[in-house]
Chains A and B, each alone.
Chain A
Amino acid sequence: MSLLTIQNLSVEFPTRRQLFTAVDKADLSVEPGEIHGLVGESGAGKSTIGAAVMGLLERPGRIASGEIMLKGEQISGLDADAMRGLRGKKISMIFQDPLTSLNPLFTVREQLTETIQAHLDLTPSEAKQRARDLIDRVGIPDPDTRMDQYPHQFSGGMRQRVVIALALCTEPDVIIADEPTTALDVSVQAQILDLIKELARERQVGVILITHDMGVIDDTTDRVTVMYAGKVVESGPTEQVMGNPQHTYTRSLIAAVPRPTIKLHRFPQISYGGRETRFAIEDLASHWPKVENDPDKPLFEIRNLTKRFLQRRGLLPWDRDYFTAVDDVSFDIQAGEVFGIVGESGSGKSTVARMIAGLHPVDDGSVTFDGKLVSDLSDKAALNAYRQDIQMIFQDPFSSLNPRMRVDEIVAEPIRHHRLMEGKAIKKRVDELLDQVGLGSGAGQKYPHEFSGGQRQRISIARALATQPRFLICDEPTSALDVSIQAQILNILKDLQEHLGLTMLFISHDLPVVRQMCDRVAVMKEGKIVELQNTDDLFASPQTSYAKELLDLMPKLDDLSTEGLNAAE
C-alpha cells in the first residue's frame, strides 16, 4: 500500500462563464522515503494537486471527483477541522519563496513552538527543546542564538531551512514541496535539495516535489509525473522518463531545457499543443537606422566601476557604514556582441547594468559609450541621445509595466518622450512593433493584466525597441518564465540581435541560458569580476575555482537522449 495515493482526481474552478478544470483525472502515488517529482509548465495544475492534498484549495475551487488516500484512509472530503488536524501534522508543505513564507514579526522559535504545540501535547520547554533540535537538524549553525532571531536576519537559503524545519515539526508522513528552490541561487539550491533528499531517506517521508525545472527533477527525484494542461501525460521512474520519454510533450519539454554543453543556433521550442509562434523581424530591419560602428573601438568601455550603498546612516562620516556592491569592475563590450554577466544574487551584476543605464549614479570609475564619456554628457540633448540608444528589459514582467496604461501607450511612451515621431506615425510604429514581437497589433488596445508573463515580456521588448536603440540591457529577462516561454523570448532576442545588429548586455544566473545567448561572459562574485572569457572557453575550461564551482553546481541533463532535440527542431 502506498503512503499517499491520488486516484482519478479532478479539481474544478467554476467561474461565471465556464467551468475551468485545473486538474483532470490525475493519478499519483508516493511511497515512504520516495521523492516524487511533479513537473509541468505554469498552469499545468501541479500546484493545484498540492493544494488539494493539503485541503487548501482557494475558493471557489473544489474536488469534483476522485479521492486522495493517506495510508489507506481517505482524506479528501474531510471537514475543515479534521483537515486542519492533518495539515502540519501528517502532511506538511514547503513554499516557493522563503522570503515571504515566514511571518516577519515573530522569531523563528515562536513560529516553531506554536506549530509544535498546535499538534503535539508538549510543555513549552519540551517544545522549545524540540524546536532547537529541528533547527540543528536542518543545518543551521549555532541554533541556540539563531532560534531567537527574526526571519529577516536569515539569508534566503537559511530561511528555506527554517521553512523545512517548520514542515518537519511533527514528523509528517508526506511533505509537499512547491518549487522549494526556484527563488534560490544555484549553490543554495543544491544544498537545500540535498537536505530534502537526506531527510526523506532518514525519516522515510514521502515527498512530492513540484517544479518546472527539469534539471532539479533529474538530480533529485526517484519517480516523476509530467503534467500538461491539467492532465498527467507521463509517469514513471525518473531515469526512464528522462532517458526515454514516451510522450511528445515530455520529449519537447526536455529538449527545451537550455544545454550547457552544446551551443545551438536557436532555442528549441516546445512544439506540443501548437503554440509555436514565428514572426518576421525582417520588416523591422528594413527601416532600422544603420549605424556604422568603429570596428577597432569597443562600443562600451567600462573602467574601474565602483558602487557603494549606505548601510548605516550617520551624521558623522565615520559613523556611516557602506556596502560595496560593485568593486572596481572593468570590461569592454564590442559592438554587435552579446556580453553576459553571471553570478549569484548579491554579486552586483544588476547594479553594474543599472549604472550603465544611468539608473544608479556611478560612485567611482567611468563608462565610455561610443568614444564619449557618459559622465561628461552634461547637456540635455546629448544625455537624451544616450538614453535613446540604450534600453532596458527588466526581470519581472508583472511589475515593469504600468498596470493603468494601455499597451499601445506603454510602447508609445519612449517615442513621445524623445519626440521621435508625431501623430499617426506613432500609432503605425507601435502597431508594427507589437506585430513583430508576435502579439498582433490588436494587443495595443488592452491592458497589461490581460496578458501572460511571456506576452508581457514581449511588450517590454517592444517598448525597448521603440526608440530604435543600439544597445539593449536584459536583466534576467526570462527567469520568471517557463522553459517554453523562455525559449520563445530568447529566440526573439537572438533574432533582434542578429537582424538589427544590436549589442546586448545579458544578465542571468542561469548558466545554460548564458551559454546559448552570449559571446563573452564575465563571472561576478561579491562585486568583483573573477573571470572574463569567451563563452565556449569558460564552459570548456573554467580558469578560476569559483567559476568551476558554479559550473559543477548547475543541474545537468547530459545523460539524456538527444532524440528530443531533433524532435523539437
Chain B
Amino acid sequence: MLAYIVRRAFQSFVVLLVVGLVAFSMFRFVGDPIDNMLGQERTQADIERLRGELGLDLPFPVQYFKFLQGAAQGNFGVSYRQGRPVSTIIKERAPATLELALVSGVLAITVGIGLGVFTAIRRRGFAANAIMTISLVGVSLPTFLIGILLIYVFSVELNLLPSFGRGETVMIGGWSTGFLTASGLKALILPAITLGLYQMTLIMRLVRSEMLEVLRADYIRFARARGLNDRVINFRHALKNTLVPVITITGLQLGSIIAFAIITETVFQWPGVGLLFINAIQFVDIPVMAAYLMLISVMFVSINLIVDLLYYAIDPRLRTEGKTT
C-alpha cells in the first residue's frame, strides 16, 4: 500500500514537471510582457535591460529550470503587474476560490447523488422524469449564461442576492473566509450554483444509470429474496456498488470545478485565483500564470491520487491480492 502511494507520488511528480515544461513553451506565444511593463516612452536600451533582468532573453528551458529552482525553495517570483511576490498574491486569492469550489462541490455531490438515486428508484414516476428533463438544461447551458440568468432573476429582478463580489469576509489566521458573515454566505449562493450545476447534473445522470444497472444485479435480487427492506437495499447495497465509477468521474469533475472557476469568477467578479489568472493573461504576467498552472496541476494530480485510494477503501476486491480458497 505504501509502495503504491510512493509510486503514485513519483508519477505525479513527473506529470507536474511535464505540465510545467509545456506551460513554459507556450508563454512566448501569449505576448511580450515588456510591452505592458514599459510605457510608451521606452527606449531599445530599456527593453534590453528589463529583458535581461527578468531573464526573458534566455531560451525557455533555461527559464523553466530557473523557475523550478525558485519553486523548490517556495519562491515563485514576483508578479510583473503588481510587483509583489506571487506566493503572497495567490495566498490572498486562494481562499475565495477554494471556498467557492468547496460549496459547489458539496452541492453537486449531495444533490447529484440524491437526485440520481431518486430518479433511478422512481424510474417511471412523473417527478423523476421531470427532473431528468430539467437536468438536460443543466448539461447543455453554458456556465456564463446560467450565471447571467441567475444574476438577472435573483439580483436584478428580485433583488434578493448580491450580483458580484464576496461580501464581507473575516480573517482567520491568514485565511479570509466568507462563511461567517450573512453577506458572505448570501454572496456565495449564486456563484456556487452556477459553478456546480453542470457537475451536479452530470453526477446525477451518472448515478442514475449506474444505479439502474446495479439494481438488475443478482445480489440485489438475492437481497430482496432475503427480505431486506427497500431502504437498506437501495442505499446500502445498491448505492455503494454504484460508487466506484461515480467516484472516478466525480474526482475529475471536482478538479475542473476549481480549474474552471475562471468563468464563474469572471461573471460574478469573484476575487479568486481564476480572476487573477485572467488578468495575468491580459498582462502577460508570466510568474503568476506559471504558479497558477502548477497549482492547478497539483490539485488535479492529488485529486486523482485520492480517487485511487478511495477505490481501495470502497472495493475490498482491490485490497486483497487475488487469493481464493
Chain B minimum-CB-distance residue to A118: B228
Q: Report chain B residues within 8 Å CB of A545.
A: none
Which of A152-160, A223-231, A270-278 is near enough to bind chain B? A152-160
Interface range on chain B: under 10, 10 to 19, 20 to 34, or 35 or more?
A: 20 to 34
Which one of B221, B232, B324, B325 lies within 8 Å of A118 (CB-CB)?
B232
Query: Interface centre among B217, B225, B315, B320, by most A CB within 10 Å?
Result: B225
Chain B minimum-CB-distance residue to A319: B3
Q: Report chain B residues within 8 Å CB of A166.
A: 222, 226
Q: Report chain B residues within 8 Å CB of A119.
A: 227
Which of A82-90, A371-379, A436-444 is near enough to bind chain B? A82-90
Query: Interface centre among B218, B232, B241, B317, by most A CB within 10 Å?
Result: B218
Chain B minimum-CB-distance residue to A154: B324
A-B contact count (CB 8 A): 90
Q: Is the CB of B227 within 8 A of A89?
A: yes
Q: Report chain B residues within 8 Å CB of A150.
A: 316-317, 320
**Known: A56-B221, A101-B218. Is A155-B226 also a contact (CB below 8 A)?**
no
CA distance A153 to B317 in the complex (A): 8
**Known: A97-B218, A104-B316. Is A115-B321 also a contact (CB below 8 A)?**
no
- Interface positions of A from 59 to 94, Cβ below 8 Å from B: 84-89, 92-93
**Known: A88-B228, A118-B227, A152-B316. Is A105-B324 also a contact (CB below 8 A)?**
no
Whether a CB of chain A sits under 8 angstroms from the CB of B22 is no
- Interface positions of A from 129 to 180, Cβ below 8 Å from B: 150, 152-155, 158, 163, 166-167, 169
Chain A minimum-CB-distance residue to B217: A100
Whether a CB of chain A sits under 8 angstroms from the CB of B42 is no
**Known: A101-B218, A102-B222. Is A153-B323 also a contact (CB below 8 A)?**
yes
- Interface positions of B from 58 to 95, Cβ below 8 Å from A: none
Whether a CB of chain B sits under 8 angstroms from the CB of A404 is no
Q: Report chain B residues within 8 Å CB of A167.
A: 226
CA distance A197 to B112 in the complex (A): 49
Whether a CB of chain B sits under 8 angstroms from the CB of A367 is no
Which one of B224, B229, B241, B324 lies within 8 Å of A153 (CB-CB)?
B324
Q: Report chain A residues within 8 Å CB of B321.
A: 311-312, 321
Whether a CB of chain B sits under 8 angstroms from the CB of A95 is yes
CA distance A290 to B219 in the complex (A): 52
Q: Is the CB of A101 within 8 A of B227?
A: no
Whether a CB of chain B sits under 8 angstroms from the CB of A23 is no
Whether a CB of chain A sits under 8 angstroms from the CB of B223 is yes
CA distance A198 to B276 in the complex (A): 75
Whether a CB of chain A sits under 8 angstroms from the CB of B322 is yes
Q: Is the CB of B227 within 8 A of A86?
A: yes
Chain A minimum-CB-distance residue to B222: A101
In the complex, per-residue mask of B245-271: 1 if CB is within 8 Å of any chain A CB, else 0: 000000000000000000000000000
Whether a CB of chain A sits under 8 angstroms from the CB of B49 is no
CA distance A87 to B228 in the complex (A): 8
Whether a CB of chain A sits under 8 angstroms from the CB of B28 is no
Whether a CB of chain A sits under 8 angstroms from the CB of B240 is yes
Q: Is the CB of B324 within 8 A of A152?
A: yes
Whether a CB of chain A sits under 8 angstroms from the CB of B314 is yes
Q: Report chain A residues within 8 Å CB of B232.
A: 114, 118
Q: Report chain B residues within 8 Å CB of A107.
A: 316
Whether a CB of chain A sits under 8 angstroms from the CB of B186 is no
**Known: A153-B323, A154-B324, A311-B322. Is A56-B225 also a contact (CB below 8 A)?**
yes
Interface residue ranges, A against B (CB under 8 Å): 54, 56, 84-89, 92-93, 95, 97, 100-107, 114-115, 118-119, 150, 152-155, 158, 163, 166-167, 169, 311-312, 321
In the A-B complex, the 10 residue pairs with the closest CB atoms:
A88-B227, A87-B227, A100-B218, A93-B225, A88-B226, A150-B316, A101-B222, A103-B219, A115-B226, A101-B218
| 16 A–B contacts, CB within 8 A, in A order | A93-B222, A93-B225, A95-B225, A97-B218, A102-B222, A103-B219, A103-B237, A104-B241, A104-B317, A105-B241, A105-B315, A106-B237, A150-B317, A152-B316, A153-B324, A154-B325
